[in-house]
Amino acid sequence: VNQILLFLLVLTVCAILYNKVHQVPSALKNETVDLESPEEIEEEIPVVICAAAGRMGATVAAISSIYSNTEADVLFYIVGLKTTIPHIRKWIENSKLKEIKFKVVEFNPMVLKGKMRQDASRPELLQPLNFVRFYLPLLIQKHEKVIYLDDDIIVQGDIQELYDTKLAPGHAAAFSDDCDLPSTHEMVRSVGMQNTYMGFLDYRKQAIRDLGISPSTCSFNPGVIVANMTEWKHQRITKQLEKWMQRNVEENLYSSTLGGGVATSPMLIVFHGKYSTINPMWHIRHLGWSPDTRYSEHFLQEAKLLHWNGRYKPWDYPSVHTDLWENWFIPDPSGKFKLTRPDS
């Protein structure tokens, strides 16, 4: 027994001496790892934006505004149809945007077959690229967090700030509430725009009433999205959105004659009560709802992002606050895209 105890004591002493001898090198080694760790390496910010035929000047202006106002490492995913991709690629590569990091992604409109109800009142809302936001995880594979932007926007702030938007646990996306900015309420009333679910869903239909969503619930705008791809896939958001698209084909639950957004309505249903919010100044919208109603210049200068949602686009005429948009527009080297102005 004494021999065993002595042996264990010797082992203990040896272990203590070993730790003391190796303690300094070990600490130095850890410190070296910390110094070389990629903690300070900037995270790549993926921004998804569409390039639709006839609207590519919008895409270029949006990209130009983002790139010019940030030092962040931005990777642009430019989504287009097979017929439009060569044009937007040539535009970028033959302009001052040739320095940006970008990938061109082809969207196959066949995924929408049988999921869209034809609506003659605003056929432009049925363009396939309006539904790209439904399929983000299928188009963008390697990123945990993604920003989606409509093409009719310009960014005046640092896109890093938008990317840093916090999403609550269990939320797949963050949007801007349509009731979140008092400064815009007068604008909304003056152009007769709806900002509640009543303006987007047909509450005469039993399927809509069965959702249990009050018609006075504030809507949100999916023209600017900060999305968590892990949650999106886990909750099967794309499948849920497709389900409501198919139900609309069968039951006409919403249409462009209501809120003017056939891509908005399914998102309002699927994300009801399950989304985080974006800083209101990061989505000043309704600039395209009237050719006459204007915001104050001071207010617009303070805004981080401007959105010309509505019929009156800043590359067409008539429209408002076109000077702010034209600051970022880059002429088409091929000459195919031209601004529409009173003297043109």
The reported pLDDT for the residue numbered 214 is 96
Residue with more model confidence, 35 or 181: 181
Q: What's the whole-number mean pLDDT along residues 301-306?
A: 96
Domain map (residue ranges) of the chain:
45-181+219-235+276-327
* Residue 2 to residues 9, 12, 16, 137, 265, Cα–Cα distance (Å): 10, 15, 21, 68, 82
Residue environment code for 43-52, b if the CB has 16+ CB neighbours within 10 A, otherwise e: eebbbbbbbb
Residue with more model confidence, 118 or 71: 71
Q: What's the whole-number mean pLDDT along residues 128-151?
A: 95
The reported pLDDT for the residue numbered 261 is 62
| Per-residue pLDDT tens over the stretch 18-77 | 555 454 333 333 333 333 334 345 589 999 999 999 999 999 999 999 999 999 999 999
Q: What sign does the CA torsion over 18, 24, 25, 28 have? A: positive
In this prediction, residue 8 has a pLDDT band, given cuts at 50, 70 and 90, of low
Residue with more model confidence, 41 or 111: 111
Residue 294 has pLDDT above 90, yes or no: no
At the topology level of CATH, where does 45-181+219-235+276-327 sit? Spore Coat Polysaccharide Biosynthesis Protein SpsA; Chain A (3.90.550)
Q: Give the single-character DSSP code of 100.
A: S
Residue 198 has pLDDT above 50, yes or no: yes
The reported pLDDT for the residue numbered 248 is 92
Per the CB < 8 A criterion, the answer to whether 288 and 313 are in contact is yes
Residue 188 has pLDDT above 80, yes or no: no
The reported pLDDT for the residue numbered 32 is 32
Which residues 6+ apart lie within 8 Å of 242 measured at CB? 115, 134
DSSP letter string over 308-328?
--SS--TTSSS-SSHHHHHTT
In this prediction, residue 178 has a pLDDT band, given cuts at 50, 70 and 90, of confident
* Residue 91 to residues 59, 105, 335, Cα–Cα distance (Å): 11, 16, 10
> Cβ-count burial of 174 within 10 angstroms (0-12 exposed, 13-18 middle, 19+ buried)?
buried
Residue with more model confidence, 228 or 186: 228
pTM: 0.85
Q: Distance from first CA to last CA of the chain, Å, rounded?
A: 105
The reported pLDDT for the residue numbered 6 is 66
Per the CB < 8 A criterion, the answer to whether 179 and 199 are in contact is no
In this prediction, residue 273 has a pLDDT band, given cuts at 50, 70 and 90, of very high
Q: What's the whole-number mean pLDDT along residues 164-189?
A: 81
Q: How far apart are CA 67 and CA 65, in angstroms?
A: 6
User: How much of the chain exceeds pLDDT 70, in percent?
Assistant: 79
The reported pLDDT for the residue numbered 29 is 33
Residue with more model confidence, 259 or 163: 163
> Cβ-count burial of 155 within 10 angstroms (0-12 exposed, 13-18 middle, 19+ buried)?
buried
Residue that is written with structure tokens 């049988």 in the block:
114
User: How much of the chain exceeds pLDDT 90, in percent?
Assistant: 69
| 306 phi and psi angles, rounded to 5 deg | -115, 135
Residue with more model confidence, 206 or 43: 206
The reported pLDDT for the residue numbered 239 is 98
The reported pLDDT for the residue numbered 55 is 95
In this prediction, residue 131 has a pLDDT band, given cuts at 50, 70 and 90, of very high
Q: What sign does the CA torsion over 214, 218, 219, 224 have? A: negative
Q: Give the single-character DSSP code of 147.
A: E
> What is the pLDDT of the chain when averaged over all its residues?
86
Q: How far apart are CA 305 and CA 296, in angstroms?
A: 15
